[in-house]
Amino acid sequence: MEIKVRPLIVTDVFAVAHMLSKVTKGARVELASAMSAKKKPDPTELGMVLFQSMFSEAEEDLKAWMADLIGKPREEFEVMKATTVIDIIEALIKQEDIRDFFGRVSSLVNGPTKKESGKPTT
């Protein structure tokens, strides 16, 4: 069965921001560190760090969001092949607008970095 992932829309910003708000402070520090590195972070790598955090700390929300991305009810999504999750992630990575989506949403949740505001973040 081929998985078709819809393009990201405005509600995805809110869904991802909500999941990120559940991520622990330690994971947020790791994300902020990756985003403020001297060289621009690889968007794919940053997205994977975000997914790892959401897998462990916002599992139920992540399942609901992934089900929505493929247009399936959550109950149906939960009984699909395990590789479906990987298929969705791979399809998201291929989307042109994903390049900075996760980084920008993460920065909204984490607030401005020290470099952007001139003040350290907490």
pLDDT in tens, 111-120: 654 444 455 5
Q: Check: pTM over 0.85? Answer yes or no.
A: no
pLDDT of residue 49: 72
Q: Is residue 106 part of a domain?
A: yes
In a domain, 1, yes or no: no
pLDDT at 36: 64
Q: Decide which of 53 and 42 is more confident.
A: 53
Q: CA 80 → CA 9, 48, 70, 106, distances in Å?
A: 24, 22, 12, 29
Q: CB-based burial of residue 122 (10 Å sphere; 0-12 exposed, 13-18 middle, 19+ buried)? A: exposed
Q: Which range is most confident: 5-9, 16-20, 98-102, 103-107? A: 5-9
User: DSSP readout, 20-87?
Assistant: HHTS-HHHHHHHHHHHTSSSPPPHHHHHHHHHHHHHHH-HHHHHHHHHHHTT--HHHHHTS-THHHHH
Q: Is residue 80 part of a domain?
A: yes
The residue with tokens 């069965």 is 1
Query: 38: pLDDT confidence band, cut at 50, 70 and 90?
Result: low
The count of domains in the chain is 1
Determine, yes or no, domain membership for 115: no
pLDDT at 121: 46
At residue 67 the predicted structure's pLDDT band, cuts being 50, 70 and 90, is very high
- Find the domain containing 61 and state its range: 10-110
